[in-house]
A and B are shown apart, each in its own frame.
Chain A
Amino acid sequence: MSHGRSVETLSPTLDRRSFLKTTGVAVAGATLGDMLAARQAPAQTKGTNLRILVWSHYVPAYDVWFDKFTKEWGEKNGVKVRVDHIPHLELPARYAAEFAAGAGHDLIYFVGQILTGQYYRNLVDLSDVAEGLGKKYGGWLESSKSAAQVGGAWYAVPDFFISIPVLWRKDLFQTVGMGEPKTWDDLRKTAGQLKAKGHPTGMQFSHCNDANHNWRALMYCYGVKETDPSGQNIAIDSKEMREALKMGKALYDEGMTPEVFSWDDASDNRFLASGVASWIHDAISAFHSTRITNPKVFEQTFVVPEVAGPGGKWNVGEPNVWAVWKFSKNVAGAKEFIQHIADNQKEAMEASLGYNMPFLKDQYKKPMPYLGKDAKLSALQDQEKITAFLGFPGPMTPPAQEVVTTFIVPDMFTKVARGASIEDTMKWGVGEIRRIYAKHKAS
């Protein structure tokens, strides 16, 4: 039968170009198929070096697992792998240096500041890997494309996203007659009451990642749209944004103390671990670290996927994506590694204590690793249904990324919290955003 099919395919009308294309695809497909069946890298990666640059994961145990995982993969496939970890905020400087030098790591990682749009001309098109993974695991979440695609091509492959839920203290909420918070208004009222008892809340009014996603969560829940769905036209100048700014100020005035103006990404973790915070809006790494630093607080800390506002319930996810420099000396090895870690997503998610939220639809089958067996975290298994990404509802285009990296949104909330008028702040913020979009349109 197979022989007969081959004869059919090789019809006399087939020209040389089509023949090469067809056989090329077939050979590539067969090689990939064989490779996956054998769980081994193709011969061309054997004896090569692969240099990987990743962030320092917020769950330190994950890095231990990741280093071991890469080492084992390297040993099995004859690839000498080296993994370097640096904190996420330092990654952009390192990438700028590697880009300028035209040399550096083979496989790199964007987190927090997604630079796919900025560097895509110097990144390898990974569409073959991404589309292969999509087919294998039931397709990508629509939102995953935002951080990984430019012009429809995958210049990055999504690894996972970080979910930013509400972490709240049940014991403290009960003292003011409150149960699980459902809305931003619940959080505001409770923070106001608990601040009087020495338990304020806090969200960063500063230049850090948490400020970018926390205030956007409030914005999206208030119905704010940063752009139209195409991502080309700004839509932030709206009644909803003004309402969100008003709510931000109320949260600060009623429930926070001035220290939030100097907070960094770790400040809310410490705030929770200290036992002072009534609630924080942060990734579950804060939850996990409190387990070690303050077990009593941990016992009373619970997780709500997100609270609702007048515009619905939207959680802001922070995507993490793989990319490969064009100057990489081991593109094949890098692609093979991306494939390998995606195939082992369950193990990775378990090692991250449920922190790494998948981008592939089939990986949401319940029970999900770790989350499915932790009563406090199990609600996060449906998190993909309420997750939006920076630039929402548009994709994370290069100008949208620049708006994020210049912290315009947190600055708008800070100005209003410090007493500036909402209209003046809107004028300033929208002006800055328009300037960025105009610059990108012109270039």
Chain B
Amino acid sequence: MATLVVPAPRSQRHKELRRHLLVYAGLTPFLVIAVFPIFWMAITAIKQDADLYLVDAVPFWFRQAPTWKNFDFLFHNTSYGAWIVNTMLISFWVSAITILTAVPAGYALARLRLPFAENLGIGIFMTYLVPAIILFIPLARVVSTLDLQDSWWALVVVYPTFTIPFCTWLLMGFFKTVPFEIEEAAMVDGCGQFGALLRVVLPVSWPGIITAIIFSFTLSMQDFLYSLAFVSISEEKPVPLGVATELIRGDIYFWGSLMAGALLVGVPVAIVYNLFLDKFITGITGAAIK
């Protein structure tokens, strides 16, 4: 049987087109603001030094031939390879410690009907608000006592002090959105409290856990002060410290290599982040509505 396709009226198509144009026109400034730093990083990373200082030239494109020498400098004159490995290892361990701690903490505070759980949750979150500039001095003693000075393991010890409070608070909010009934149903079917958490609550809380992992990973990747205070050996530095301390020499900035260094770690993380974007939004909004 032939299907009769009725074209949309011309005026409706126009209306739809106009709606799209308006939406994209509204989004364009945000897109430009978001993408411009990455574009600037990318173009500076492959510009020659002399090209950066040509003030009469349009800065958004090349006057001299592009070059890979900034990347070459990064990998052959600095410990950039080691910095990337350190950054990834630190972020991995911090995320693992954070999730292993924040999941039970968040679950207990949200679902076990403990007295003062709400206030305790707020109290834990408040510790996240204590600035690093105050905390790094007492933490220096902890790091020294553990004999971890000048080792990236010092940062694995220190970073959970801010990732755990934040993620516990985040997961608390998320766990509150999971209906009690499904957990109770699991218990009726023979699960204990731990079994219900493992088999029922965690699988439906996946977006919240992904969000906590993303947060702890990115918070670990962007720290500067703690790494500055506790790590000074080049081979032990994470990327943010390495590029800022070894590619800025007094009043001379190795702009090309600085941008190349930031680009190489920034872009892959942004791509991975986007792969989990839906889960991230669900996690954030799930945590926010309770």
Residues of A within 8 A of B50 (CB): 293-294
* Contact between A58 and B249, CB atoms less than 8 A apart: yes
B140 touches A97 (CB 8 A): yes
B250 touches A57 (CB 8 A): yes
The answer to whether A94 touches B229 (Cβ under 8 A) is: yes
Find A87's partner among B136, B149, B233, B250 (CB 8 Å cutoff): B250
Shortest Cβ distance from residue B168 to the other chain A in the assembled complex, whole angstroms: 27
Which listed residue, A53, A85, A100, A273, touches B140 by the CB 8 Å rule? Answer: A100
For the complex formed, measure the closest distance between the CB of B221 and the CB atoms of chain A, giving whole angstroms: 19
In contact, B233 and A84 (Cβ under 8 angstroms) = yes
| Known contacts A101-B141, A275-B55, A293-B53; A58 and B230 CB within 8 A of each other | no
Residue of A nearest to B138 (CB): A100
Asked if A292 is at the interface (CB within 8 A of a chain B CB), the reply is yes
Q: Which residues of B contact A93 (CB under 8 A)?
A: 136, 225, 228-229
B232 in contact (CB, < 8 A): yes
CB neighbours of B138 from chain A (8 A): 100
Q: Which of B24-58 contact A (CB under 8 A)?
A: 49-50, 52-53, 55
> Within the complex, what minimum Cβ distance (angstroms) separates B240 from chain A?
12
Whether a CB of chain A sits under 8 angstroms from the CB of B246 is: yes
The reply on B198 being an interface residue by CB < 8 A is no
Q: Is the CB of B53 within 8 A of A101?
A: no
Interface residues of A in 199-238 (CB under 8 A from B): 210
- In chain B, positions 208-239 with a C-beta closer than 8 Å to chain A are 225, 228-230, 232-234
A59: min CB distance to chain B, Å: 8
Report the minimal beta-carbon distance from B149 to chain A, rounded to whole angstroms.
6
Residue from A56, A59, A275 in contact with B248 in the complex, judged by beta carbons closer than 8 Å: A56
A272, closest chain B residue (CB): B53
For A53, the closest partner residue in chain B by CB is B232
Tier of interface size on chain A: 35 or more
A202, chain B: closest CB distance, angstroms: 13
Q: With A100-B138, A101-B140, A101-B144 in contact, do A85 and B230 touch (Cβ < 8 Å)?
A: no
Do B250 and A55 have beta carbons less than 8 Å apart?
A: yes
Considering the complex, which residues of chain A in the window 104-145 have a beta carbon less than 8 Å from any beta carbon of chain B? 104-105
Residue interface mask A37-61, B partner, CB < 8 A = 1: 0000000000000000101111110
| Contact among B49, B137, B251 for A265, CB-based, below 8 A | B251
Contacts of A285 in B (CB 8 A): 250-252
Interface contact A90-B55, CB-CB below 8 Å: no
Q: Which residues of B contact A105 (CB under 8 A)?
A: 232
Q: Tell me if A29 counts as interface (CB < 8 A to partner B).
A: no
A276 touches B55 (CB 8 A): yes
B110 at the A interface (CB under 8 A)? no
Q: Which residues of A contact B (CB under 8 A)?
A: 53, 55-60, 63, 82, 84-88, 90, 93-94, 96-98, 100-105, 210, 265-266, 268-270, 273-276, 282-283, 285-286, 289, 292-294
**B contact residues vs A (CB 8 Å cutoff):** 49-50, 52-53, 55, 136-138, 140-141, 143-144, 149, 225, 228-230, 232-234, 244-246, 248-253
What are 6 A-B pairs at a CB distance below 8 A?
Answer: A59-B250, A86-B232, A87-B248, A93-B228, A269-B252, A293-B50
